[in-house]
Amino acid sequence: MAGRIRHAAPPHGDRGGGTAPALVGGAALVREPENVIVQPDNKGTASGLLLPLLHVMRRDPNATVVVLPSDHFVRNERVLARGLQQAARLARIDHQHVYLLGLVPEEIDPELGYILPDDRAAMAASSVRQFIEKPSIEVARDLVQDGALWNVFIVAASARALLGLYSSRYPGLVADMSRAVDRDGGDSLAATAARAVYPQLPLWIFLAT
């Protein structure tokens, strides 16, 4: 997987808890409920991301997608915005790679995941050498000194590239979910076929390693 993922790192960032997406989500539910894709059950982030991705691809197979987890607080939003814009621009012209933003750590935090890029000097896109999840405090300190970045799971990619990454790792999951979304005819609200297939799905975490 490391060969297909690149990171685009803004220079500095802070992360923590935040609730801003709930404000956007409430308005979206009222105005465009068909754009809200709800998992029938919690089957982990692999299924939770794949389900809306397949709905997006039914509408626009050439779409560029951005994944924004709702559990981060960033003090310097301009830095994050620049990083997102850079990653989205790269994703629009590069349909082979998935771009994962990394944040330059401001402290040693063993509770986070880390990205070790191949090019540790450049604040630009680079292939990923290694992912490290929740290292010890000693390992986290060494990683930061070695140029590792916080992995906050902010992703930009063409829909095709992201689906290709899924297909290489979870071919059975992609096949089952694709059939369900096709049977539902893109109806994200009723989602009868998706509800039927979800109890059979494994609990998988996307990009856990």
Q: How far apart are CA 167 and CA 174, in angstroms?
A: 6
Q: Where would I find the beta strands (DSSP E) of 13-78?
A: 64-67
Nearest to 133 by CA among 147, 107, 153, 118: 153
Nearest to 173 by CA among 134, 138, 135, 204: 204
Buried b or exposed e, range 110-124, using 16+ CB within 10 angstroms: eebbbbbbeeeeeee
CA distance 8 to 91: 11
DSSP bridge partners of 115:
131, 149
State the residue for tokens 């803004």: 10
Beta strand pairing call for 126-133 and 113-117: antiparallel
Identity of the amino acid at 30: V
Domains and CATH numbers, the chain: 2-200 (3.90.550.10)
Tell which residue, 193, 112, 114, 206, has the closest CA to residue 162: 206
In eight-state DSSP terms, residue 158 is E
- For every one of its 209 residues, what pLDDT tens digit does the chain have, with 9 covering 90 and above? 333 444 444 444 444 333 223 333 344 444 566 778 888 888 888 888 999 999 999 999 999 999 988 777 777 888 888 888 999 999 999 999 999 988 889 899 999 899 999 876 656 788 888 899 999 999 999 999 999 999 988 999 999 999 999 999 889 889 999 999 998 886 777 788 888 989 888 888 775 44
Secondary element (H or E) of residue 150: strand 149-158
